[in-house]
Amino acid sequence: MGSLEESCPGPLAVVDGERSLDLLARAQAGDAEALDRLIRRYQARLLRIVRIRLGPAGSGLRRFLESADIAQETWQAALGALADLRVTGEADLLAWLARIATNEVRDQLDRVRAQRRSLEHEQPLPSSAGADPVDPRSDPGARAARGEMAGILDDAIAELPEDYREVIVLRDYCGADWGSIAERIGRPTVHAAQQLHQRAWIRVRRLAAPRLG
């Protein structure tokens, strides 16, 4: 299955000489093919970020909602704002998508809470809301995202405290540089952000160890 670290998406590679910012510029100019290629390039990575935002399998929103549904809603929201987007790097584009996904998760959480309050006996949500439990090792999207090890890693990260979770998502899922990470998570120096990242990974390995057998 490989190691946990190898299961991280990591920095985006250049594919056939094309970078995401090139595809973004063409998509903003109305190139439908470039937009489709951009979405396909980010889809698996975005799905994993959404799963982390939803929390561990069997708890939180993942008891009620499909990760793929949230990812789809994230894309719909992103496309509405794509024309005005200005980013300087691929990591910025991914971080932008991750922020939209976070907002979508929060909106869904509000809806879930409202629906649960309306039920007299706290029964599960109707099937139209995606009531089937979603396990990253059984969900088709999860299997596509590097298989079982990726699901174990995403689950462990989802259980982290917020600052630990964010530093890993920004560095290992969005590919952000240390300077921007330190700024985004409110750390005074790059070294402080790197130390937080190291502590976060120690926690991830401890959480994942029982599941690795």
How far, in Å, CA of 66 to CA of 128, rounded?
11
pLDDT above 50 for 132: no
Q: Over the range 152-172, which residues count as b (16 or more CB within 10 Å of their CB) and which as e? A: bbbbbbbbbeeebbbbbbbbb
* Boundaries of domain holding 127: 5-212
What is the pTM assigned to this prediction?
0.73
Task: Specify the CATH number for the domain of residue 111.
Answer: 1.10.1740.10
Q: Are 51 and 169 in contact (CB under 8 A)?
A: no
Q: Are 43 and 67 in contact (CB under 8 A)?
A: no
Count of structural domains, the chain:
1
pLDDT above 50 for 120: no
Tens of pLDDT along 14-45? 444 457 888 899 999 999 999 999 898 888 88
